[in-house]
Structure 1
C-alpha cells in the first residue's frame, strides 16, 4: 500500500531553530543571533516563505486531482437535466424545443417535435381463441395485464386499433411494469431482446420495428414502426396492429400498464443559443430551413465558411413557412470541400444582451454570464470568438470549453467556465489562446442551462406551453443531477477498486454471471474444475462451469440457448487466460417427503405442504446444496401447532439423488432439490 509523504512537516519556529543552529558552522564571525539583528530578520522572511512553499507543495489542487483521476480512468460526471414524458391533450403540431413552464416557473423544452397525427390509437383488445376482449383501460393507464398470458392461458394476442390515414411512422409508448424479484441488468447497445414479438399490420404484412426501446416489452419505452400505405380498415374504419409472442424466452411474461401514441419527451432545460450547420452548393439563392421553436423567433447570426475561414453574412432574405424559418443566402464564396459550409446561430431574443460580449484582449480575460443561478450543460456550450489567424487576419472561430487551460497550448482555442462565479476565462497566450479585443468579439453560439437536480418535479405538475397556454400532463421528471464533485468522483474510484473486471475467484465468476447485460439472473453458482460432460469422477482441468437460473415465474426455470449464450459471452470476456468457461442450466432433483405429526388441532395439511414446498423450490436456488434430514425436521417442528413429529422420511427420485445413512439427500454440484410430492398425516389430540 502506498503511504503518502507529508511535505508540510515543518512550522516557522522549527525552520528558524534549524537555521539559527547552523550559523556557527556556516558563519563563525556572526555572533549576534538576537531578533534585532538585520540578518535574523532576513532569516525570518525566508523561513516564512519556506513554510508557505511547503504548504502549497503539500496541497492537491483541483486541476491536479482531476488529472490524477483521469489517469485512473475516472472523470467527474457532468450535470444532466431531468427528463419527463408529456401527454399532449390537443392535436396541434409543435416543433422541437417548444417551451413549457410549470406553476413554479420551472422551464421544460420538447426534445422532439409533436407532429400532426395522421393516425390515432382508438382501441386496445386482447384476442384469445378468436374472441376479442376490449382493454380500454390500458389507454388511460388504469389497468395492468399480461397481454400474452391472458386469463391464465398462453397464446393470446394484443391488438391495437388506429383511425386516420395510412402510411408514415407509428410511434407508440408502452408502459411496462417491472417484475418482482431480481432486477433486469441494463442492456448493451445492439443486444438481442430476451423474447421475440411479431408485429403484424392486419391485412398488410408483418414488419420489424424501426426501433424498439422496450427490448420486446422488457422495460418502458418507445417503439417505432413504418406503417404501410395499403393498410386496410375494417367495417368500423379502424386499422389493426397485431402483436403476438413467437418466442417467450425463459424469463417473466411482460406486464403492460399503459400504451399511448401521444407521449413525447421533454427535458428540464432552457436553450439560449443554438447553432446549425448546413452543407450548401456554391451559388446565389441557396435555401436553408430552420425547423425548431427557438429558430422561429430567434435573433440570427449567419456565417459562411470560405477557403480562409468563417465570415459573417450581413445580407440575406428570410421568410416563415409551414416547416419553420427559411433563409435565402448567397453562397458563391463558400468552400466546396464536402464539409459543412454555412453556420446559423440562433439567439434567444430575450437574452441577446447576455450572449454578445466586448473584450479588451488582456491575458486571462473573464466574461460574466448572467444565468440566474442555473447550471450550464458543458456538452452544449461553445463560443464564437474573433480570433487571430496564423496569416495575421482576424476571423470568427469556434472555441470549446475545457476543464483546465494548463493542458492547452498558446494557439488552442479554449476557455474554462467557473459555475460558482458564472464566469468564462480565456488563456494568457501561453496556456490557451488570447481573445482578440473588440466590440462584440465574443458570441455565445451554443448555450443550454438547467436546474439539474432541482428539476426532478412530480407528475402532473401543471405544465403548459408558453406559446398559447395549452396544458400538458406530465410524468414525474427524473434523472436530473448536478455535476459530480472531485470528492464524489474519488469516492466512486474507491468503490470501483473494490470490484474487478476480471474473474479470479469463484465468487468473481458468479458476480459477473449475475451482471450479464439484459438478463434477470436469479442465482449463479461457479464450479471450478467441473465438467458435467466428463465421466464420473473425472475433473475438468482449467475449467469453470457456472450454473445459472433465470428469474422466472415458472416452478422450475431453465435458461434457454439465448440466455446461456449471453452468460457464456460475458464469462468469456472476463475469464483468466488459460481458463475455459461454460454456462449451463441446473439439474432439478425430485424429492419426496413423508411427514407424520401430532398437533393441537390448529394446523392443517396445506400449511405443512406449503412450508415444505417453500423450502424445496427453485426460488431458494440452493445449487448443489444437500437436503438435510435435521434441517427438514427443524422446519416442521417450528410450525405453529406442532406437538410432535412422529415420522419424517426423505426420498430422492431419479439417478441424480443419493441418500446417505443419516437420511440426507445429496444432489450433484449443478443440481437443485425441488419437492415432487409431500405426504402429510396429521393426528390430533
Structure 2
C-alpha cells in the first residue's frame, strides 16, 4: 500500500474557476458576461491554473523544508538526551578515590547492558549517616526514624526561619582534608536539573548582555551549541553556614573561600551535592534528644527567607551523579578529496555537545566545527553536519564548506548514549563496568542507584518539534497583557510562587487614585506559612533588568509589591 500524499488544499482548477466566477457579482456587479469567451473569464482561468500549480507545490513540501522553516523561527529539534541518576557507593576501606569518568552498569527490561559514567570525582568514606535532627525555637526534633523509613522530611522545619539548625550525625569521624560528598535529593519537581539549567541560562544571558558591541575583529570559529559551564549557584535570599564539631570542643565553621565547602544545592533549593573538606578532626558529642553520641555536622540558617519549604526525599552519603554516556574515540575514515563526503560514527545515538572532529593534515591535527547547516559556510570553513540519531557525518561540497583532503585521516571523539533506552528503575545499577573492574573492584563494596535513572529521550521528531512550536506561539515572550505579567513572574527561574496577580492603573503608594500607566504585580510565596510575604531577594529576582526589558516598552511604569493577606484563605487584596 502506497503512503498517503499530503493534501493541504483539495481545490482543483474547476473549483477555483467556479469560486472566482461566484465572486464577480460581489466585487464587480456591472460585469454580467460570465461566459468562457469573455477576456475576464480567461484571466480567471489563467490565475486558477497558476493557483493550482502553487497548491500542488505546497503539498509537496518535504520534511527538510519544514525543519528549515522552523529553524528560521529559531526552533531546532532537540538532540538525544542521556539518562541521569545518582549512585550510592560504599567502600571496602576508608578514603577510596573514584575518578571522574568511572563506568558502572545495569540492565534494562530487555536485558540490555546500560553503562553509566560519573560526571564528578568522588572520595568514598566508610562513615554512615545515623542521625538527623532539626533545632528550632520550639526545641529539638529527632527525624532519624523518618529518614530511615524513607519519608520526605522538611529541612529547617515546615516553616523555616533564620536560626534553625540541621544536624547530621555519623557513626565515624569524616576524614580531614578530604572532600566528602553529601547528595541531597529534594522531593519538589522544580528542583531538578532542568531548573539548574534555566538558572544557568539566565546568568549566561545576563553575561551576554554585558558584552560590548561586535567589532570587525576576527574571532575563532565556535559551535552554535555551547555547553553551559557548571558552578555552584547562590540563592536570591537565603544564606547558610556549615559547621562541624571539632576536637577542640567547639563548632568550627567551614569557609567556602578556601574550598572547605561547595554547596551545589543552592541552599537546599536544587537536588545536588554538598562537598565538604574538614580542616581538622571531628569529635563525638550528644545533641538534643539523641542520646547516642555521634560525629556531627550542622547547617545553620543564617539570614533570608525561603519561598517554599525545602523537602528532603533522600540524603545519600558518597553520592555521585552519573549519566548514561560512553566516551568513544575512533578513526572514522580517510578523506577522498571529493565533495559531499559522508561517514558514520559507530554506537549512535550521539551527544552533539561532546563531539570533536579532527583531520590529520601534513602531520598536524586540524579541528572541524559542527554546524546545523551549510547556509553560511564558505569554501575555507571547516564545517560538518551531524545526524545525532544515526551518527551520520556529512561534509560540504567545496563551495559551502570545505572538503576533507585526499588521504587525510579523520578522527572523532564523542559520547554515545542509548537515549530513552537508558531509563532504568531504582536499585538496578549494581555493577562496575568491565573496563574499570580491575581499578575499582578493590575499592567499592556495594553499588546502587537509590533514585530512578530518568531523562533519557530520543532526538525530537518533526511531529514533536511542530507541537512544541505551536506551544511556543501561545507562550508570552514579552509582557503585553496582564496575563503575560503573571505568567512571566511565575516562570522566573529560581523562585517559588503560590499566586501572582497583575493590576493595571494601580500604584500601591497611592491606592485611592487611578495611576494611569502603572502596572502593579502582586506576588504571594508559600512562606511564611502564617503570613506569606516575599523577601527583598525574591522581589529583586522578579524585577531584575533583564525582566524589566521584557515589558518596559509597553507601559510607562511597573511596580512589584508584596501581598497582603486578608484572611486565613490567603486571598490577595489590592
- The answer to whether 1:257 aligns with 2:339 is no
**Which of 175, 199, 205 is equivalent to 2:242?**
199
**Which of 141, 144, 155 is equivalent to 2:152?**
144
Q: Distance in 1 between matches of 2:236 and 2:146?
A: 23
Q: Using CA pairs under 8 Å that are at least 6 residues apart, name the structure with larger relative contact order, 1 or 2.
A: 2
128 and 7 in structure 1: CA distance in 2 versus 1, 3 angstrom threshold: closer
Runs of 4+ in 1 over 6 A off after TM superposition: 6-11, 51-58, 129-133, 150-154
- The answer to whether 1:385 aligns with 2:337 is no
Describe the SS at the equivalent of 2:468.
Answer: helix
Deviation at 1:519, TM superposition (A): 1.9
Aligned 8 A contact 1:386 1:435 in 2: no
Aligned 8 A contact 2:80 2:389 in 1: no
Aligned pairs for 1:7-46 within 5 A: none
The alignment covers a number of residue pairs equal to 462
Aligned pairs for 1:234-633 within 5 A: 234=284, 239-247=295-303, 249=305, 251-273=307-329, 355-371=331-347, 374-387=348-361, 395-418=364-387, 422-438=391-407, 441-466=408-433, 467-468=436-437, 471-474=446-449, 475-534=451-510, 536=512, 538-552=513-527, 554-569=529-544, 572-577=548-553, 578-589=555-566, 617-618=569-570, 621=571, 623-624=572-573
**What is the CA deviation profile of residues 527-575 of structure 1, one whole-angstrom value per residue up to 9, with x for unaligned ones?**
2111232273x22121111222112362432223223333333763332
Describe the SS at the equivalent of 1:496.
Answer: helix
Deviation at 1:217, TM superposition (A): 1.7
Describe the SS at the equivalent of 1:513.
Answer: helix
Deviation at 1:265, TM superposition (A): 1.1
141 and 173 in structure 1: CA distance in 2 versus 1, 3 angstrom threshold: farther
113 and 207 in structure 1: CA distance in 2 versus 1, 3 angstrom threshold: closer
Deviation at 1:473, TM superposition (A): 0.5
Aligned-residue Cα RMSD (Å) equals 4.0
460 and 528 in structure 1: CA distance in 2 versus 1, 3 angstrom threshold: same
Give the match for residue 683 of structure 1. none
Q: Distance in 2 between matches of 1:160 and 1:271?
A: 37
560 and 377 in structure 1: CA distance in 2 versus 1, 3 angstrom threshold: closer
Give the match for residue 112 of structure 1. 120
Aligned pairs for 1:128-207 within 5 A: 135-137=143-145, 140=148, 142-149=150-157, 156-161=164-169, 163-178=173-188, 187=199, 188-189=202-203, 190=233, 192-202=235-245, 203=250, 205-207=252-254
52 and 581 in structure 1: CA distance in 2 versus 1, 3 angstrom threshold: closer
109 and 232 in structure 1: CA distance in 2 versus 1, 3 angstrom threshold: closer
TM-score between both structures, scaled by the size of structure 1: 0.59
Q: Distance in 2 between matches of 1:521 and 1:178?
A: 13
Give the match for residue 74 of structure 2. 73
Q: Distance in 2 between matches of 1:184 and 1:416?
A: 30
Aligned 8 A contact 1:140 1:258 in 2: no
Describe the SS at the equivalent of 2:543.
Answer: helix
**What is the CA deviation profile of residues 174-215 of structure 1, one whole-angstrom value per residue up to 9, with x for unaligned ones?**
1223299xx999645455345332322333543455543322
Q: Distance in 2 between matches of 1:495 and 1:150?
A: 36
Q: Distance in 1 between matches of 2:155 and 2:427?
A: 28
Deviation at 1:459, TM superposition (A): 0.7
Deviation at 1:76, TM superposition (A): 2.0
**What is the CA deviation profile of residues 404-456 of structure 1, one whole-angstrom value per residue up to 9, with x for unaligned ones?**
23542222222223456543333332222222233xx3343312111112211
Aligned pairs for 1:215-234 within 5 A: 215-227=266-278, 229-234=279-284
Aligned 8 A contact 2:162 2:304 in 1: no
117 and 420 in structure 1: CA distance in 2 versus 1, 3 angstrom threshold: closer
Q: Distance in 1 between matches of 2:368 and 2:195?
A: 42
Aligned 8 A contact 1:386 1:436 in 2: no
Deviation at 1:244, TM superposition (A): 2.1
Q: Distance in 2 between matches of 1:179 and 1:56?
A: 46
Instruction: Indicate the larger mover: 70-79 or 202-211.
Output: 202-211
